[in-house]
Structure 1
Amino acid sequence: MLGYRNFAELSISKAMAKSVDRVWNFINTLRDRSYPVAERELETLQQFAESHGHQGKLQQWDRDYWDELQSLELFRMTEEQLRPYFPLQRVLSGLFQLSSILFGITIKPADPKVEVWHPDVEVFDINDGKGAHIASFFLDLYSRPSEKERGSWTTSFISRSKLLGTKPVAFLVCNQLPPVGSLPSLMSFSEVKSLFHEFGHALQHMLTTVPYSMASGLNNIEWDAVEFPSQFMENWMYDNNTIPLISGHYLTGKPLPQNIFARVLQAHHYGGGSIMLRQMFLAALDLTLYSSTDSWTSVVREIAKRFSVMKQLPEDCVLCTFLHIFSGGYSAGYYAYEWAEVLAVDAFSAFEDVGLQNRNAISKIGHRFRDTVLSLGGGTDPRQVFRLFRGRDPHLEFLLKAYGI
């Protein structure tokens, strides 16, 4: 009735990619580049397992166990060992300092009289370079299993509207450990990364200059571009100049030691080929399900033959837990995670080009990022937004480099 052959065509027509063929080209290119790397990673893991007493060929149920052991041996580091270096207040202070350097904003606690839904919730105001209040956000960081879902997320509460005279307000929610007695809230590296990620979403909502609420902030952004600012912010976690801002041992105040941070950087690339190939398997599975009339069992079987280096188990029921593409809003759009990450790492490379230690230079680029990516949001085609910031279309090679491929 609508002139599309299947739901995938309809869904992607409203995305940055625009066509199913372009998405398939994206998926297949990343598959072809990551597959041989994933094969070598599996061979290395097989050798490691055998050297530690494993007999026979690794099976699906063996992999996570040996992956974990190999990672521990290679990097001699766990999430819990890093946690003392990331007390919440140090992380927040560093994140706000970084945002000030990059985007010329000031973040301060709001009026304590602002109503909140729980005593742990904090409210912050954002002021521009001239000191004018432009946005606010509610920060709800601690886990409360009885009333909060798992995970982290950002939600728009009030959107910018010139007609209504409203300023943007966002909700930023995480699930980390609260303070216990005299012990402050200590964050794992993954939790800090999640906070940076969600803050990227919040920044796009709060720093918008689009005057119409239906297209301002997080509203109306193409699905495969919505993760761009959030994934962009994650990259600063691996910047040697940012780590001293956000880390400080809760007892001594000393930032994360360089030798430990070096291992964090090494671990960041661990298993990159296998991770990318898995993402492309899920993206291809999603796209095929929403464009094919074949049974789901045959679709899984055929996609697995091409996108898995280990033989798929007959009992595999991946679709029973793949909620993203059924109830999570990513129907025929799971590729969007990697599509947006291409934009994010390419954009971050603009900062790397001038030297991340050159704070004056990255501030200038950060202001341009604010005036394009964070400012224009759902009011301008994301392809045009990226060109305004970068001066060209995005390059895939930056993503491959980020994954060590």
Structure 2
Amino acid sequence: MSYLRLISKNYPLLITRTCNQILKRNNGFIVLVPEIGEENYSPIGQHELPEFNNFTIEKCISAVGNQGLAIEKSLKILEDEITSKADITDIFKEVLDPIEEITTGLENTWGLAKTLYLGNSSLMPTKSYLTIHDRACRVRAQKFNSLPVYYSIKRAAKSEAQPYDDQQKRLIQKFLLEGRLNGIEVDGAQKFQLNDHIIKLSENRAKFHNNVEASRRAFQQNCNDPNIIKELPVSLLEMLSVDRNQPATKGPWKLSLQPYIIKSFLEFCPDHNVRWNVWQADVRKCSRQADRQYDNSVFLEEIRFSRRQQAKILGYESYMDMSMETKMAGSVHNVKDVLTRLRESAKPAQDAEIASLQTFAEKIGYHRKLEIQDISYYRRKQLIDLYDFNEDVIQEYFPLNKVFKNMLKLSENLFNIKVIERPAVNKWHEDVKFFEVFDLQDGKEPLGGFYVDLYARDEEKTIAAVNTGWMVKMRSKSELTNTRPLLAIIFNFKQIAEKSVLLNSTDVHNLFSKFGLTLQNIICNSRYNELSGSSNVEWDAVDVVGNVMRNLLNDTEILKSITAHYSNEDPLPEKYITAFLQNQKHLAGFNLCRQLYFSDLDVELNTKKDFWWDIVKELYPKYHSVELDKKDSHPCSFTPIFSGEWGGAYYSNVWSELIAADVYSAFWEARKSQNPDDFAEVGKRFRSTFLTCGGTLQTNEVFRRFRGRDPSPKALLHNLGLSSPELKK
């Protein structure tokens, strides 16, 4: 189970990016973590690095317990002081600064626990991490749910006695928004109603999630026909293998409905009937069209109802409108407008793509009308036919060590930094490396540091089904507590036989993305922990920096600079450069429309009261060139928005890609000028805005400082090959 899954399962009410809950402060009891071990043990301080050889689970749990108690005690004292004062003359010195000082220790210990949970589960097993996570979330929530703290900040925000700078205003706004969205201003009967809806929402989300998991486990189909498995890659056969002690190519194999398996199986299964059977089982699960014991239709509508009531009590027209409080988009109208504008280009492109794919399928012997479950299989075949795309061959030019080394070099040149490895530090495994980042203009002290743990260790690392990796904050920057940022990048890359660890195209993009987020958290010039790096960045913009780093791989010069064949250092051939780049654009209209459809579905489900099936019937044809199956019930297992974090926020993926594409277009324009200084200047400007500002400014303002205007969808469409605009216009 991944870290994000753990959060979603245990804390389903995540309105903002902070782990907050509505707490009853007068319920008469507090759940405590066992107090074990050294009372003053602190596993991670301000600048020093953790001593992993002195680390124990008991000490970490003890530290969280002691730090939690200290925070609760200090917060109670602070509340009493606020209440006893006639007036707060300096909200920062008297309230906000003390809160940051008393909470830093717990944040650091929690960050260490997250890192070890993902990097070495023998040091931090799941059960122990859940204990720490639960305690830390509860303690963290209290500072945002304190009535004396909230109303003192609210009075200060209205006062004109003290002028606040941008960071101070941003921190004030964060505390007020967190409190308001958690219902701190609601009282009387409405308070009880709100709590009741939140409890029911949590219960129904858990039931929804459990039904999906049970339905996935219930479906099992033998997959031993040689005609079915003949095109399946070894990596997929490993996932399907019944006996993991046998070679993956020996079998037997059994299919399940886990998303990562379904996606890969439909891409490689050559049999139409088998593809249809697996697809229909997947989209009909948890509905009345399948096994009714796992029917989620009622829970889906109950979740929507509770969200509507929650939003209404908090003063919003809909749950989607409430969600906009923490988004860069700002309003439901803006989201719908962008989805529509993108669809106007993507849908005609999709129509042409599906027609072309139909012709190709017929050419290689498939004489039926393409259905949705056929698309990925023939897309893969067409990509090979058009561009000779062979992932196994291409990844031989992306050895992990070389890609990582050249990624650091690229970042140093673009952002005027120096990344230096420190080998003689204590680590949780011998494979782990530690680096410090220095500013070349003032390189006396490091800006911060990061651990890198890239290799799979099945016996001790948390394994995610899809190896997208993690960027974990172990410690955030805070000038107030003189704290430098400390982070960890964790992946599970596997070695292939006698070869070096080789990265496929998705791996390379994910590595660049996580490193971009790491730099944002290290370079950020924030005075406050709560605004540092990606903290307090709007949900729909939090992945912008990572996506910009991904987009840099669209630059052929950069792509060439990071690659070489693992065995002989040969450069990446031109035909494979083309294949690498076209892989991102092939069937771009279809892929984008799928993203837009699910984004709009989330918007409509959290805006309207219509029955979910009626909403699906209306939306589906707008975004698809293939027909909707009458028994397709995919919303009944749409876990990201009904049991995960992304209800009212699913469009965020498209939005962050749009913003990142527009940011990258500045690099693209600079490259066209053929003046190296222009490209370097864009990198400098990117550092001074997106990497430096982090959560200290609204992303709209950060973008304007970088681009000199508001964002446009043109660059995203250009990146995907759906239009060819002159981007400067």
TM-score category, normalised to shorter length: over 0.9
**Where do residues 266-285 of structure 1 align in structure 2 (5 Å cutoff)?**
266-285=582-601
| Contact map agreement 1:144 1:175 (CA 8 A) in 2 | yes
- Distance in 2 (CA, whole Å) between partners of 1:385 and 1:343 is 11
- Distance in 2 (CA, whole Å) between partners of 1:290 and 1:121 is 44
2:326 alignment partner, one of 14, 17, 26: 14
What TM-score does the superposition give when structure 1 sets the normalisation length? Answer: 0.95
Deviations 1:178-197 (A, max 9, x none): 3655x321111211111001
Matched, 1:122 2:433: yes
Instruction: Name the aligned partner's letter for residue 148 of structure 1.
Output: T
**What does residue 55 of structure 1 align with?**
367
Matched, 1:311 2:311: no
- Distance in 2 (CA, whole Å) between partners of 1:48 and 1:41 is 10
Q: Which has the larger radius of gyration?
A: 2
**What does residue 381 of structure 1 align with?**
698
| Contact map agreement 1:220 1:378 (CA 8 A) in 2 | yes
Deviations 1:35-84 (A, max 9, x none): 11101111111111111211221122222221111111111122111111
**What does residue 73 of structure 1 align with?**
385
Matched, 1:155 2:472: yes
**Where do residues 197-212 of structure 1 align in structure 2 (5 Å cutoff)?**
197-212=513-528
More deviation in 313-322 or 298-307? 313-322
Structure of greater relative contact order (alpha carbons < 8 Å, 6+ residues apart): 1
Deviations 1:184-216 (A, max 9, x none): 211112111110011111111111001100011
* Cα deviation, residue 279, structure 1: 0.5
**What does residue 721 of structure 2 align with?**
404
Instruction: Name the aligned partner's letter for residue 639 of structure 2.
Output: L
Distance 1:180 1:58, change over 3 A: closer
- Distance in 2 (CA, whole Å) between partners of 1:380 and 1:344 is 17
**What does residue 193 of structure 1 align with?**
509
Instruction: Name the aligned partner's letter for residue 8 of structure 1.
Output: M
- Identity over aligned pairs, percent: 32
Where 2:529 maps in the other structure, the secondary structure is coil
Deviations 1:320-379 (A, max 9, x none): 553322344222111111211222111111122222664432222211111111111111
Instruction: Name the aligned partner's letter for residue 101 of structure 1.
Output: N
- Distance in 1 (CA, whole Å) between partners of 2:357 and 2:458 is 37
Report the count of equivalent residues.
403
- Distance in 2 (CA, whole Å) between partners of 1:315 and 1:230 is 38
Matched, 1:254 2:570: yes
* Cα deviation, residue 282, structure 1: 0.6
| Contact map agreement 1:90 1:245 (CA 8 A) in 2 | no
Matched, 1:361 2:671: no
Superposed CA RMSD in Å reads 1.7
**What does residue 372 of structure 1 align with?**
689
- Distance in 2 (CA, whole Å) between partners of 1:200 and 1:328 is 25
* Cα deviation, residue 229, structure 1: 0.5
| Contact map agreement 1:114 1:123 (CA 8 A) in 2 | no
Instruction: Name the aligned partner's letter for residue 138 of structure 1.
Output: Y
Distance 1:51 1:111, change over 3 A: closer
**What does residue 425 of structure 2 align with?**
113
More deviation in 353-362 or 328-337? 353-362
Distance 1:349 1:187, change over 3 A: same
Instruction: Name the aligned partner's letter for residue 679 of structure 2.
Output: I
Instruction: Name the aligned partner's letter for residue 230 of structure 1.
Output: G
* Cα deviation, residue 270, structure 1: 0.7
Instruction: Name the aligned partner's letter for residue 97 of structure 1.
Output: K
| Contact map agreement 1:86 1:248 (CA 8 A) in 2 | yes
| Contact map agreement 2:686 2:706 (CA 8 A) in 1 | yes
More deviation in 288-297 or 230-239? 288-297
**What does residue 665 of structure 2 align with?**
349
Where 2:531 maps in the other structure, the secondary structure is coil
Distance 1:325 1:121, change over 3 A: farther
Distance 1:121 1:315, change over 3 A: farther
**What does residue 454 of structure 2 align with?**
141
Distance 1:211 1:179, change over 3 A: farther
Distance 1:176 1:77, change over 3 A: same
- Distance in 1 (CA, whole Å) between partners of 2:509 and 2:659 is 18
**Where do residues 216-227 of structure 1 align in structure 2 (5 Å cutoff)?**
216-227=532-543
1:174 alignment partner, one of 467, 471, 491: 491
| Contact map agreement 2:423 2:433 (CA 8 A) in 1 | no
| Contact map agreement 1:283 1:335 (CA 8 A) in 2 | yes
**What does residue 97 of structure 1 align with?**
409
| Contact map agreement 2:437 2:446 (CA 8 A) in 1 | yes
- Distance in 2 (CA, whole Å) between partners of 1:335 and 1:26 is 10
What TM-score does the superposition give when structure 2 sets the normalisation length? Answer: 0.54
Where 1:242 maps in the other structure, the secondary structure is helix
**What does residue 139 of structure 2 align with?**
none
Matched, 1:295 2:611: yes
Matched, 1:25 2:337: yes
- Distance in 2 (CA, whole Å) between partners of 1:75 and 1:280 is 27
* Cα deviation, residue 277, structure 1: 0.5
Distance 1:288 1:149, change over 3 A: farther
Where 1:338 maps in the other structure, the secondary structure is helix
| Contact map agreement 1:83 1:187 (CA 8 A) in 2 | yes
- Distance in 2 (CA, whole Å) between partners of 1:244 and 1:46 is 34
Instruction: Name the aligned partner's letter for residue 98 of structure 1.
Output: L
| Contact map agreement 1:93 1:245 (CA 8 A) in 2 | no
Distance 1:295 1:223, change over 3 A: same
Where 1:253 maps in the other structure, the secondary structure is coil
1:242 alignment partner, one of 558, 564, 572: 558
**What does residue 187 of structure 2 align with?**
none
- Distance in 2 (CA, whole Å) between partners of 1:115 and 1:97 is 24
Instruction: Name the aligned partner's letter for residue 223 of structure 1.
Output: W
- Distance in 1 (CA, whole Å) between partners of 2:395 and 2:543 is 26
- Distance in 2 (CA, whole Å) between partners of 1:79 and 1:64 is 15
* Cα deviation, residue 273, structure 1: 0.6
More deviation in 337-346 or 379-388? 337-346
- Distance in 1 (CA, whole Å) between partners of 2:643 and 2:414 is 36
Q: In proportion to residue count, which structure has more helix?
A: 2
**What does residue 176 of structure 2 align with?**
none
- Distance in 1 (CA, whole Å) between partners of 2:562 and 2:669 is 23
Matched, 1:88 2:400: yes
| Contact map agreement 2:545 2:660 (CA 8 A) in 1 | yes
- Distance in 2 (CA, whole Å) between partners of 1:38 and 1:261 is 24
Distance 1:112 1:324, change over 3 A: farther
Instruction: Name the aligned partner's letter for residue 70 of structure 1.
Output: Q
Instruction: Name the aligned partner's letter for residue 577 of structure 2.
Output: F
